[in-house]
Structure 1
Amino acid sequence: MSSDDDGVHGHIECRLGALLAERDMTMTELSRRTGITMANLSILKNNHAKAVRMHTLVLICEALKVTPGEILVLKPGAQADQ
């Protein structure tokens, strides 16, 4: 469903890459700390995820010591890459 079909004109952006850089942490280290595969972390980091399990979000929040709102931000008016 496109954003035009559902009346939504923004998208959710995952700030995982920026948060890792701020903490000087690698994806490998985050994967080790959380047990989340590198492939799944990469999908999130590159904003290709269609959904995120709550458990996954909790693990990332705990490892990075952040809240969900610091990882996922709403970008109103911007079109998501299809």
Structure 2
Amino acid sequence: MPVDQDVDAHGVHCRLDELLADRGITLTRLSELVGVSVVNLSVLKNDRAKAIRFSTLTAICRALDCTVGDLLEVTPAR
């Protein structure tokens, strides 16, 4: 399923790729820091995730020194 369809389905966009680029951190390094597989982080980064555990969300935000609002945004309704 294309990324746009997933975002449209739930209206949430993950800005993980932007935050990683801003901080100069690779997905592999983030995986090591938070204890989540690269595959699962990639699913989140590419807006294919259907859900995220609060513990994962917290770990990502701590590792990237960001807030949930920095990581996730609600997309405008079409």
Q: TM-score, normalized by length of structure 1?
A: 0.81
Structure 2: any 5+ residue segments left out of the alignment? 1-7
Q: Quick check: which one's helix share is greater?
A: 2
- % identical equivalent positions: 45
Structure 1: any 5+ residue segments left out of the alignment? 1-7
Could you say what secondary structure the match of 1:73 adopts? strand
Cα deviation per residue 1:10-47 (whole Å; 9 max; x = unaligned)? 71000000000000110011001111100110000000
Shift of 1:76: 1.2
Could you say what secondary structure the match of 1:48 adopts? coil
Which is greater in Rg?
1
Tell me the residue number matched to 1:73.
73
Runs of 4+ in 1 over 4 A off after TM superposition: none
For 1:28 and 1:10, how far apart are their aligned partners in 2?
A: 27
Tell me the residue number matched to 1:47.
47
**8 Å CA contact retained: 1:10, 1:77:** no
RMSD in angstroms over aligned alpha carbons?
A: 1.7
For 1:32 and 1:40, how far apart are their aligned partners in 2?
A: 12
Q: How many residues align?
A: 71
Tell me the residue number matched to 1:25.
25
